[in-house]
Every structure is written in structure tokens, then in C-alpha cells.
Amino acid sequence: MRYYSTRNKNEFVNFTIAALTGLAPDGGLFIPEEIPLYPANVRSSLGSMDFTDIAFETVKPYVQDIIPNNALSDIVQSAFTFNAPLIPAADRYCLELFHGPTAAFKDFGARFMARAFSYLRRGEDRPLRILVATSGDTGGAVADGFFEVPGIFVTVLYPKGRVTPLQERQIAGLGKNITALAVEGSFDDCQQLVKAALADEGGVLKTNDQKRPALSSANSINISRLIPQAVYYSAAAGRAFSGNIDSDEEATPRIKGSPYPSEIKKGLITLCVPSGNFGNLTAGLYAMKMGAPIKQFIAATNINKTFPDYLNSGEYLTRTSQVTISNAMDVGAPSNFERIAAHFTLDEMRRIILGVSVNDDETKETILRIHKEAGYFLDPHSAVGWKGVDKLLTENKIDKSDVFGILSTAHPAKFSEVVEPLVGLPPVPFSLASAMERTVNAKTIPAEVPALIETLYENK
């Protein structure tokens, strides 16, 4: 498979270059030359295949010329050691994407990416340093994914005082090859610093010096984080289509003893994706184009509704982000928009994707109501998705008789500051409880390029 930048259709790179460089040199995002179709036999068995087999079949066409089958098989087996169950709750499904080590869906992309990077860099002596800016969830997933991977160092930049205590421990509690920098500034400042360092402003980092680590980034602009996220869409859609539904009552955050819905629908599913930077939705669009049985998508945002507004007006107007209780989606200029727009025209987008925006009061009200009515705990991001479906149903924009699935993007205990005062907490997963025990070890730096560079030198 060849990849090109969203800003230049005439030059191609292979998967290795696309993954290891992250952002294209012209500032665009790498996309595959074409979106491959599942072979017919795979497509018809999505509802019964093992998750790792679906992962193998989904990723294979994107990396075939670079990663041989046996290596790819090892990568997906070791990356996806947890499931993505499709759980019935009230009148719809929740696709629970929070059973990985940092309890948010970003584990899928980050764990695949870490293992793919190790493979792509095999035999390479020069170390690699990955810089990642985070508003909270990405940093923890990337740190966890790359923890103790030989030859790779990770520096996570997060806005000091603006991540939750749990997120800070996930980012700054691991040590070893993971360095945490608490930046005196906002998420945008962190992202600016990373971009400046990657561009090696003024050449001070001498990124061509073979004795120093090469630099790369791991934000969701990286295509190697996005492709593996298509896997759970295909798995879930296949199961909803064939009626092969999980009932993992132990793992699911429900009130003990609350009943499963008696009638479970099957058919073509409409999936609602709580969205911020739109990496997750882009992966869903890839799964649909590959042939997964998906009817439609709903892009649910909080009040940062750049994309829903675009679908309405046809005009793409980015703005500065506003703070909400679903803070992983506080994005005013979603970077993956550029990818979606490269693959689809506005008319196509309008046919495939419905946009909806949900405010904080509606989000809280939904967490309360679903806990009461279905005994199910939603985190604030998943609650935005749930309410998004409700609003579109009320407006008659979608059909009540359809099959709906919400992507549950984080475990409710991950956002305990919001969830606990409203409805209490379900049992906290072991990985979160043990992360809370870690000691934060971060270096505070001002939001200035020289401070970052100095730290990168200290760390060798």
C-alpha cells in the first residue's frame, strides 16, 4: 500500500515512512492510496471471527508489502490482549472500548503503534524519541504502549494542572523510558512545542546527528494509530448484524443484578462516535469502506461543534476550543477533518454522517438517567454519544426501528470527578486502581522552546 499527503497527491511513501514520520513534511496527513475491501469470506464471517483474526485481516492490506504475515500476527496478538465487547443497554448497544490498560479507546491505537514501530525499526541502532502532546488520554495510552520498548524513548508534554490526578499518574508514574513534562500552559502550547521540536527550529537539536535519538511524534495524526482502530468497528458491526452479542456482565460497569434488555435487535448498525479530533470516526469510515456492515455514523461532539456545523452549513470554520466535562473532545480544529475531506465530498459526508452537539447539562442529565433506567454507568464522553442519538431520534433524523450502537470511549471510573458525584462509581478496574498508586515524577517547564530543547539534551 502506498500513502500520500492530504496536501499532495503526486508523491507517495510506504507504510514505514508514513508511520515513522507521522506528519507529512508539507504539513498534511498521510492517507492510504485506496481503501481496500475485505475479501468476501472475511466480510461474511466478521460476526463470528476472533477479535485478533479480524485485526489481522483489517490491517494486512495496509502493511502487506512491509510487515510479513507472521510478524503482523505477533503484533496484533500482543497488542490486543483485551476485548471490545458489544453490550446491550436499554434500547441500544454500547461498544465498550475501555478494557485496555489506560481505560480509554486510545489503547488500541497506541499499543498497535508501539509494536509496529518496534518492528519497523528492527536492526536500527539509533534510538528514537517520540514526542507527544496530550490533553489527558493520549499521553497515558502512548506512555503505556511504549513502556519498556527497547530503543524507544517517549516524552509526554501535558498542561500542568489541567489533567486529572489519574491521568497524571498514567503519564508521569511509569518512569524508565517515559519522561513526563508538565508544561506551564495549555494543550495548544504543548502541541506548539512538539511541532517546533519536530521541525528542529534553528537546527539546535541536530536531528541528523546519528548519536542523538531521532525524533518522531505519536499524536492521532499518525496513520499507524488510526488503521488499528478500524478493527473494533468491523468486529462490532459484524456481531450486531449476525446477532452474536457479548454479555460480559463481570467486566461491564453496571449496577449488580440490573437486567439485560429482553429484546436484542440485530441488523445493520448505526454507530455514534463521541468525537474530538475525529481520528476515531475516520477509522470507522475506513471500516465501512472496507465492507463492514454499517448503516451510518453519528458524529457527536460537545459544544465544540465545528464538524456538526460544517455538515449543516457547508462552511468549515475552526475556532478556539471551549472547556467541557468531556475534555478529551475539547477540540475546535479537529486535525483529522483533513483526512475525511480527502476521502469524501461534502455530499457524501452528509449521506454517511449525521452531526449532533451535546452540552454539559445534557451530558450530566444523561449519566443520571441511564444509570437510573438501565443500571449502566456512562463516562461523560460516552454520555455525549448516548444523548446525541436521543436528540436525533427526537428530531426524526434517524429511525427508531434501527439498530444503534454508542462507542463507549472511556471507563466511567476514568472520569470519576464527573461521574462519582452524580451516580457513584462501579468497581474500578485493576489497571486504574494500580495506576493511582504510582508516584508522579514530572519536570515542570515553561511553555518555551528552549526549555524543551534543554530537557531533551539532558535526557540524551
Ligand X SMILES: *Cc1c(COP(=O)(O)O)cnc(C)c1O
What is the contact surface with ligand X in residues (CB under 6 A)?
A: 104, 106, 137, 220, 274-280, 328-329, 381, 409-410
Shortest reach from residue 233's CB to ligand X, in Å: 12
Shortest reach from residue 281's CB to ligand X, in Å: 6
Shortest reach from residue 226's CB to ligand X, in Å: 9
Please, which residue, 137 or 168, has the CB nearer to ligand X? 137
Shortest reach from residue 204's CB to ligand X, in Å: 32
Shortest reach from residue 334's CB to ligand X, in Å: 7
Q: Cα(401)–Cα(39) distance, rounded to whole angstroms? A: 30
Shortest reach from residue 404's CB to ligand X, in Å: 18
Please, which residue, 98 or 404, has the CB nearer to ligand X? 98
Please, which residue, 61 or 334, has the CB nearer to ligand X? 334
Please, which residue, 232 or 241, has the CB nearer to ligand X? 232
The sign of the dihedral angle between the CA atoms of 435, 436, 442, 445 is positive
Please, which residue, 370 or 453, has the CB nearer to ligand X? 370
Please, which residue, 180 or 445, has the CB nearer to ligand X? 180
